Chains A and B, each alone.
Chain A
Amino acid sequence: MDHRDDIGAKLGMWVFIFTEIILFGGLFLVYAVMRNNYSAEFHHAAHHLNAFIGSINTVILLVSSATVAMSITAVQTRNKKLAVILLFITLLCAAVFLINKYFEWGHKIHIGLYPGSDLMISLSHGQVMFFSLYYFMTGLHLFHLIVGAIILTIVVIKVQRETINAEHYVLMENGGLYWHLVDLIWIFLFPLFYLIT
């Protein structure tokens, strides 16, 4: 492929990452405004979130970022088997995160606390804003996590087929970068929703 430009490919990915950060930035802006308006209620509403599950999720994503980075090194050192194992661990982490989220959201939906529900509408303004932001932001994050997992699945298939190899791995680097973004967004979401008690 004489048209190959790995630096250009990475530059493109970084520009895309910036756009994702700004996409979430709009929500962080709304969070900042609402938290400024309703600081006490945000503080109290955060009690309803399970900081333990949140912390587990944070650790899971941090580990998954480490394993994906390690898998890139494995490809660079021509250790295909290790690379595939590490990528599977990354995807496993993603799955566990999803399961945790399912239980977290499921519990709240079960007790009737979701956007537009009668319970939600009966809450005070600050609490409604907190939970609306919680659902929207963790929901959007979840969507990006799924997208990231799909990308990494494509990567692991290509590693297996050796179309990603020690000479040609920019797609893997870009996929890993996207996964780091997913992790980074959670790193910001976690304290803003779970730790402000």
Chain B
Amino acid sequence: MTVKTQHPEPSYLVDTGKYKGLKAWLTSTDHKRIGLMYLYAIMVFFVVGVVLGELLRLELMWPGQQFYGPQAYNGIFTIHGIIMIFTVVIPGLSVVFGNFALPLMIGAKDVAFPRLNLFSFYLFILGAVIALSSQFMGNGPPDTGWTFYAPYSIRTNTNVVAAVLGAFVLGFSSILTGLNFIVTIHRMRAPGMTFFKMPLFPWSIYATAWIQVLATPIVGITLMMIIAERWLRIGFFDPALGGDPVLYQHLFWIYSHPAVYIMILPAMGVITEIIPTFAQRKIYGYKAIAFSSLAIAGVGYFVWAHHMFTSGMSITARWIFSFLTFLVAIPSAIKVFNWVTTLYKGSIDVKPPLLFTLGFIWLFMIGGMTGLTLGSLAINVHVHDTAYVPAHFHYIVFGGVGFAFFAAIHYWYPKMFGRMYNFRRANWSFVFLFTGFNFLYFPQFIIGYMGMPRRYFDYLPQYTFGHQLSGLGALLLGIGVIIMLVNLFSKKGAKAPANPWGGRTFEWDIPSPPPLENFEVMPELKEKEGPYDYK
């Protein structure tokens, strides 16, 4: 279904309203512009987070102090985590590609509440600024880790309140975005597009939005409790007053575990769009993938205490959470099988989006399987709080969500900007990113298993080689990030056609970049049509 335009409307990138320039962008309620503003902000935060990570790796190249001391180290890994988790990967794919592509893919003009959408963006920036202000105020950057565990987060003199308040505001932004997307998907699908004719990226955004809405308030109130502890001595987490620090851990992880599904579900949704396009085949197991998104969202609420196996819970609690953790891996595995099956005997074209997707599958599988080893009680006792844990979650979050983000930007870039990018440079960026990534994080599994603690500024000599391999990986990864950013954001490439990849979802039927109101003619799905009309 192609839409021909007699008099092409200006693209959404052209200022046609009351304001021009920066003011036009900052006051825009257009989901496409908001998605782009989020993209720019998140890329900046990501680069800051990468630099912080590189600083950590640099210090860890040799045992002993190299460039800065333990207090600075603790501050760096704390803000690295806060930035990456709360300003990059949790909002990440949802706010950039959910905003940009979701309305297009369901045939809508915009989201349900465009002004609320812009407000969410302002809250996002405000929250990030508040969180970052923690680095510069009088008492020094927080040194608690992004997890803010009591009692240390109550007692440390550092700027915990600023960081926690920033996270609260960011959470509120996340809630409002989720609310917006839920109503959008319920109310604004094109005529004929029933839920089961909706493409799978919107499905993933839908499942994610419910987690955003139902889980984030818990961490919101928990962060308020931290502030109340610090300012008012409320005592919920203070044994001296009758409270319990482990209660904090429960409350924190009741959100923060579902939060990882907020991160990964849209990532899986993107992968599910890219694979059919570059294999030119209908996705295998549409309903299985749709339901598995909901299953992951649902079961993901019940596994939180696998972060707490060494905190003193009963054996009953421990084995139940371990069992549920194994269960939640099943829907993810279903997706991986379906993706690979879709590729089988397809007409595969390894363009950059697919290259990053293939990288995703490898990295996600390692991350996922090491999640299972961590979920095993007997192993967990040994590797909890070792470098094995950050290795696992970086594979899943950076390798999974991060690479899916890279895949998504390479997929929708022509649509967003109306330009192509250089494929060779994109492929080279992938080579550096993928190689660097594995060199950086795989050794961490090994030295973690051998006893290297996490969040430690110094270490015993036997771990040196592992850390140095990681350092090399960090260097290659950094180069990959630079190549990618230069490729995407420096020179203008060739003009992009409406459908450079042969995709079948609605966004590929309109011009690149789209006009302000998306569709000249409201798209419709006929009775027999499905979301992926390949042969």
A residues with CB within 8 A of B: 3, 5, 7-8, 11-12, 15-16, 18-20, 22-27, 29-30, 33-34, 37-38, 115-116, 120-121, 124-126, 128-129, 132-133, 135-136, 140
Contacts and interface: CB of A to CB of B under 8 A. Distances in A.
A139 to B, nearest CB: 9
A19 B241 contact: no
A133 B242 CA distance: 12
A26 B112 CA distance: 29
Contacts of B113: 12
A115 B233 contact: yes
A7 B184 CA distance: 11
B182 interface: yes
A164 to B, nearest CB: 18
B164 to A, nearest CB: 14
B186 A11 contact: yes
Contacts of B241: 121, 125, 128-129, 132
Nearest to A11: B183
Contacts of A5: 112, 187
6 contacts: A8-B183, A11-B183, A12-B179, A20-B217, A26-B217, A116-B232
A58 to B, nearest CB: 23
A129 B221 contact: no
Interface string B231-272: 011111000011110010001000000000000000000000
Contact of A15 (B182, B218, B233, B234): B182
B228 A126 contact: no
User: Which 8 residue pairs are nearest across A and B when measured between Cβ atoms?
Assistant: A125-B242, A116-B233, A26-B221, A23-B217, A22-B217, A115-B232, A8-B187, A132-B234
Nearest to A24: B221
B214 interface: yes
B251 A7 contact: no
B242 A23 contact: no
A contact face: mostly helix, strand, loop, or mixed: helix
Contacts, number: 100
B151 to A, nearest CB: 15
A124 B224 CA distance: 24
A14 to B, nearest CB: 10
Interface string B201-241: 00000000000011111101110110010001111100001
A15 B216 CA distance: 13
B220 A23 contact: yes
Among B113, B215, B236, chain A packs the most CB atoms within 10 A around the CB of: B236
A166 B183 CA distance: 24
B175 interface: yes
Among B113, B182, B187, B217, chain A packs the most CB atoms within 10 A around the CB of: B217
Contacts of A24: 221
Contacts of A140: 224
Contact of B213 (A15, A128, A135): A15
A30 B234 CA distance: 12
A171 B113 CA distance: 14
Given A125-B241, A128-B242, A132-B234, A11 B213 contact: no
Contacts of B178: 15
Contacts of B116: 12
Given A22-B218, A23-B220, A132-B234, A38 B242 contact: yes
Contacts of B242: 34, 37-38, 124-126, 128-129
A19 B233 contact: no
A132 B217 contact: no
Contacts of B216: 19
Contact of B214 (A18, A30, A129): A18
A19 B247 contact: no
Interface in B157-202: 175, 178-180, 182-183, 186-188
Contacts of B236: 30, 34, 129, 132-133
B233 A11 contact: no
Contacts of B182: 11-12, 15
A30 B232 CA distance: 17
Interface string B364-376: 0000000000000
Nearest to B110: A3
Contacts of A126: 242
Contact of A26 (B175, B188, B222): B222
Contact of B235 (A3, A18, A22, A115): A115
Contacts of B109: 3
Among A20, A132, A136, chain B packs the most CB atoms within 10 A around the CB of: A132
B386 to A, nearest CB: 30
A138 to B, nearest CB: 13
A135 B233 CA distance: 12
A132 B231 CA distance: 13
A25 B183 contact: no
A175 to B, nearest CB: 16
Among A7, A15, A24, A135, chain B packs the most CB atoms within 10 A around the CB of: A15
Given A22-B218, A23-B221, A129-B242, A29 B183 contact: no
Contact of B218 (A26, A124, A129): A26
Nearest to B221: A26
B220 A129 contact: no
B229 to A, nearest CB: 9
A120 B235 CA distance: 10
Contacts of B112: 5, 8, 12
Contacts of B220: 23, 26
A136 B228 contact: yes
Nearest to B237: A30
B233 A12 contact: no
A34 B242 CA distance: 8
A75 B228 CA distance: 42
B235 A132 contact: yes
A16 B119 CA distance: 15
Contacts of A15: 178-179, 182-183, 213
